Amino acid sequence: MYNLKKYLRMLQLTDTTNSLGRELKMQLESRGCVVRTLMSGAESGTTSGVGSGQRVDALVVVGAESKAGDLNAMACVVNEDVYKNLKLLETLSPLVRRGGCVAWACAGAGAESGNFSQASAAFDTVLRASLEHIAKVTHCDPVWVGRHDGAERTADRLVDALLNCTTDHNTSVFSIRNVAHKVGEYVCRWLKIVS
């Protein structure tokens, strides 16, 4: 069993009232992490311990638990994720230290089940794009594991993804692609000067 404490000391978790939030908190604390949670004034951005400006190593947004079936269930997920969780993601992401992780975890019916599976998959694509955009703006690594049945399975996958995120991202700030792009810019500039 890996110990996340070496890499992730402090995490911000947005919701511990549902089964996924409780499972994530339990697993992360059992691995030695300090898990911060939101107080009742979460919509205003008030947090327990983090409101003082203290940075965290990772932010985990716990998405709405989806239930397969009717349009009302889909509308509840959209309502909670758009009006609450995306706002929390935007509000709390500046608290993550540069190079940290911004994660989104969703439990409940998978995107492949139910009458509204294609709508659910499209909605998850929008959530993932929002997560990746905010992570890019805040210079963090995005972590998306998708929707899975069962809180325990989703929590396992997210903790594993966080572990991989924190061990791989410190190896190099520059990628081969960025280096090739910079070299290309210098060569183009040099050719313009010479000609």
Helix (H, G, I), strand (E, B) or coil at 108: strand
Q: How far apart are CA 92 and CA 109, in angstroms?
A: 27
* The pair of three-digit structure tokens given for residue 28, joined into one six-digit string: 């992360």
Instruction: Write the CB contacts of 106 (distance below 8 Å, at least 6 apart in sequence).
Output: 20, 63, 64, 65, 66, 124, 127, 146, 147, 148, 154
The domains located in the chain, with CATH, are 4-194 (3.40.50.720)
What count of Cα atoms within 13 Å lies in the side-chain half-sphere of residue 61?
A: 32
Q: How far apart are CA 53 and CA 60, in angstroms?
A: 17
Q: Where are the alpha helices (H) located in the chain, listed in sequence order?
A: 19-30, 71-80, 86-92, 117-137, 151-168, 176-194
- Smallest Cα–Cα separation from 128: which of 108, 109, 111? 111
Most confident of 31-45, 102-116, 126-140, 153-167: 126-140
Residue 122's pLDDT is 81
- For 92-149, the pLDDT digits (tens) are 999 999 989 999 988 876 545 566 777 777 888 888 999 999 999 999 999 998 887 7
